[in-house]
Amino acid sequence: MASILGKNVGLHVIQFPSGRFGFVGAVPGDLGYEVPANKSAVVGGRAFKNAKGDLVEMKFPSFDTRAQAVAHANRKGFEVSGG
């Protein structure tokens, strides 16, 4: 496991109302990806400047199964807490 927060980041996977699975808790940025920020991201305070100076926001994938979400986290070096 890797994180600037330490080894136990409190990462959990839940099933959203849509039926897909995703991360909640202290979600490391390494599990997501940057996309160009739109006006909503800027006004909502989700936008930031990345290392290149571009205005971006983070998006995080959702998955068809809990196992896929856990596998994604594990590939990135993080462990999912709980069941």
How many Cβ atoms are within 10 Å of 48's Cβ, its own excluded? 14
Task: Report how far residue 4's alpha carbon sits from residue 2's, in angstroms, rounded to the nearest whole number.
Answer: 7
Express each pLDDT in 20-75 by its tens digit. 999 987 788 899 999 999 999 999 999 999 999 999 999 999 999 999 999 999 99
Q: Where are the domains of the chain?
A: 11-75
Q: What is the largest CA-CA distance in the chain?
A: 39
Express each pLDDT in 63-76 by its tens digit. 999 999 999 999 99
Read off the pTM: 0.76
Position 28, amino acid = P
How many Cβ atoms are within 10 Å of 14's Cβ, its own excluded? 13
Backbone φ and ψ of 42, nearest 5°: -65, -50
Task: Report how far residue 51's alpha carbon sits from residue 66's, in angstroms, rounded to the nearest whole number.
Answer: 32
| pLDDT value of residue 67 | 95
| pLDDT value of residue 34 | 96
